Structure 1
Amino acid sequence: MNREKSLDSIPIDLFLEIFSRLPTKSVGRCRCVSKLWKSLLGRQDFTELFLTKSLTRPRLLFAVKQANDEWLFYSSPHPQNPYEKSTVVTADFHTKFFKSRSRHCIYASGLFYFPDVRFSQNKSEEDSVPVIFNPLTGQYVILPKPRLDSEVISFLGFDPIDKQFKVLLINTLVNKETFHHILTLGAGKMKWRKIQYCPFTHRPHRPHRPHRSSGQGICINGVLYYLARKNDAFEYMIVCFDVRSEKFRFIDGWYIHQLINYKGKLGGINLHYEQRSEWGSGWDTRELQLRVLEDVEKQDWSKYVYPFLENGYRKHLSVVGMTMTSEIVLSENWGSRPYNVFYFNPERNTFQCVKFQGVGAKHEKFNHCGIVYTFVDHVEDLSVNDAKQLKSSIYAQDRCMFESINKFDALCRLDDS
């Protein structure tokens, strides 16, 4: 046992063990107690211990876009009893963020990228800036604005080896010429760099419906995957971008509703629908098709098909992702009251409906016109939250845009920056 003592005569290893069980926000508050606590809770061994504990308690993260373009963020633990057919859970509200007109959430390893955040009441697009944002702590960093005039598609990737976030911009011009720029989030002056690209020209796929996030890609073990279509063709491909080496490669593909992380491998899920009877309207989910990339070099895929007829709930759903416990998570397309999320475990053949009452409860606008984006297995990582470039999201001139918070909470956020 580590016999080193704190001011309260508690062994340091026991002190760190206790605080490793707290949420990130609580750790941030505890750092404000004293310089000693800040030093202890900022140690590398505590950061690693906290991440180890967090991996055992992943959460479901909700990003809610309101009609006025403001964003609300909630999270909740995954349900513990998969054999309950229905359960009610209250989600924790974390923070509200500035206005962004973006129709899509760009997420990777705990952080969001918004390409067009407005910090003033001016609605001009020229006043919007790209921002990296932490939804749990409310911290953010303003990125330099890229000088690009045509359509730009953005992706966010994370390199787990160097622990670096990178934003990838794909700029396709009118003459179909494509340019790629990248920005590395880090200390010092950040700037966009033009990167060398391969001869394969393509156009990243954008989903027509904002609740589908396959067009935003998924980052697995430092590789960013996204769906694309070859120029002048209807053939789909999957683009693989290595975040660390900044190199591209391609995999032959097909239209996929949602890319997922299947036990560390790339997976793709498609939902198939059938029209309701003449007495109803709309479409019901009929079956779920899952494909898993077993061998990248050989481009070998395994395929599984799961019918939804026996589950008793066949409304029009969207795929969110897959949890670490191999449960496929689906959601209703638009905000409901309460917001319904579904856990389907193909190995146990269980189908559970979880009603999240807290999502939108504080802000009634959500219940009528909010769009909900859901992310599985959100893990709190202090090495991400401690990034020195993240600043507090409390702007004195724009404080009226945020819900009231006490002075102590504000100091904690400023202290962490």
Structure 2
Amino acid sequence: MQPRTKIQHRIWGLSKELPPISKTQQEFAYSKVLDHVGHRSKKGITCMDCGQFFEDTTTRKRCTCPNCNTKLTIEITRKRKFTQRRLMVVLDVVDGIQISRTIEVYGHHRAGEPVRHFIMELYQHFFNVEGKNHVVARQRNYFGDSFTGDLEVRRNADADCYRYSVDKVCNGSKVLPVFKKLGFKGNFHWVSPYSFFTKIQYDNRAETLLKAGQGSMFRFEITGWGNGAYRFWDSIKICIRNKYKVKDAQMYYDYLGLLARCGKDLRSPKYVCPKNLTKEHDRYVKKVREMDRRQSEARKIAKAMDDEAQYLQDKQAFFGLCFVSGDVTVKVLESVQEFVSESEIHKHCVFTGDYFKKQDSLIFSAIVKGIPVETVELSLKEMQIIQSRGLHNKPSEYNEDIKKLVDRNIGQVRKIYEQLQSTN
């Protein structure tokens, strides 16, 4: 839309002052943001960057193309072409205002031809301009997550709608000293720049986790997925003190919750800093499951009935939602009993961790050829997959197919969720 107010004219003027994406930044996008792949056949490898074929009979997973000297990741496939789409952010400071510019990077690859590159600037966020955040962006297609039209000033209320996590931060980006002081060192840890710059100044726990290098827990804190850091902050401080790095925050918070249920000391490094998190997590899942079995049948039935009613009230609008692609089917869990079955099949804590009580999450069961293989958790606020886990919390061989199927159909979930929000 055309700028109308004084502040909109200022934002539009600042946007015009931004330099175009330079040749150096484009080269960074093409070399560092996109993947460089070689397709292996029986006779050799085709470099999908330069398109040239070279003989190679080894089984190595990485090599250097002798034609263009590009370091390649080898894939065994018969595909002759594929397309990549990645996001990069360029950070800039104009007139004392922090700006993030999100760039979409395309790579069109075909065997026998050099790769064709293309970049497009999708949107620009202007942070804390007269106490508010503003956006200059192309028109967003909400159901296809695509962008069209020219960069224009959008409504201030739409600023938080343009918040995608990015694959890389461009070299040479400029950041205000306040954000460097808060711990930013060029890595958003898969948090969108919008979420990072709008929340880091007001969240002391997030700042501590970022400075301690706890990227996974930082991501959960800044995105608001659950309240693990708030519940277990004393345990997290012990982790930091003992230099224990948590690689999977969701599993770690589940593990601490299981420890609490078993009455263990959550301030003891013996428990909160396990050498093998997966092993200990599974061990305590079994303990909690055994504790639940020892409960009286009457109490379990009464509790399940209460939970069933609440779950029905919270998630009934999503019941019947089912996505199908080939042999893969993903459907919403429609009862607490299905959570119990899913937990027993995969030996994870989707039931013992009370996932059916999470109002901001939607839980799916992924089935391949009639056999359940994974459980998927989708954030209703962020409309992103939080986790997708199979037997013993490990991804199945269909993990990527399941995630892609859910991603392609997020528009259906978003439509139902927005209808619910508008009626509440």
Higher helix fraction: Structure 1 or Structure 2? 2
Higher strand fraction: Structure 1 or Structure 2? 1
Q: Give TM class, smaller chain.
A: under 0.3
Say which one has the larger Rg: 2
TM-score (norm 1): 0.26
